[in-house]
Amino acid sequence: MRLKPATRVLAIVVMSVAVGACRQDMHNGPRYRPLRVSEFFSDGSSARMPVANTVSRNPLADDDELLYTGKVNGTIANVFPMPVTAELLARGQERYNVFCAPCHGRTGTGDGMIVQRGMRRPPSFRIDRLREAPAGYFFDVMTNGFGTMQDYAAQVPVADRWAIAAYQRALQFSQHATVNDVPANRRADLDRPVAPPGEAPRPEAP
């Protein structure tokens, strides 16, 4: 039996509404907002106390405010919670190249591959605002995000975020350093030829 055009249109509309309603139910499932009143629990509160002996998956920032927030007494700090060593910088460089270079570029100028393919360009680490920013600022941005940059708290552990911040600072110093900033016993290294990645070191000139 053939349906009349009007009947077919009505059937399509009814089915569309039914399907749309199902999807809407998925989006608007029952939930409580923080600190809302609840008639379900006897104490009238929707917020529930953790089960006894529950152990947090994340360390508490109160245990070491500087380490976990980049702040001291609520103010962004310009110190690192650990010694800045060659090992820390090497780790920071490796993690930076994985998580940061796609947008910020290998040298921190904001010319990463994703930017070259059309994504919004982030600011260069060389601008005065970021050169003068405290070290804890970079840690805070990685932890909480800023502007169009998402947070990386779930992807990058706390110690690695500090390592990246140290390497970012090294990138900044490298563009504004003078010969006098290099230790006297390492200045001769400035004249050594540098081999491109993957090639053997070039011999020194006679």
For residue range 18-74, list pLDDT tens digits in order: 555 555 555 566 677 777 888 888 888 888 888 888 876 666 655 789 999 999 999
Beta bridge mates, 76: 71
Residues of the chain falling short of pLDDT 50: 206
- Tell me how crowded residue 27 is: count the other CB atoms within 10 A of its CB: 6
pLDDT given for residue 96 in this prediction: 97
The residue type of 98 is: V
* pTM as predicted: 0.65
pLDDT given for residue 27 in this prediction: 59
CA angle 6/8/13 to nearest 5° reads: 95
Question: Residue 36 burial by CB count (10 A; 0-12/13-18/19+): exposed, middle or buried?
Answer: exposed
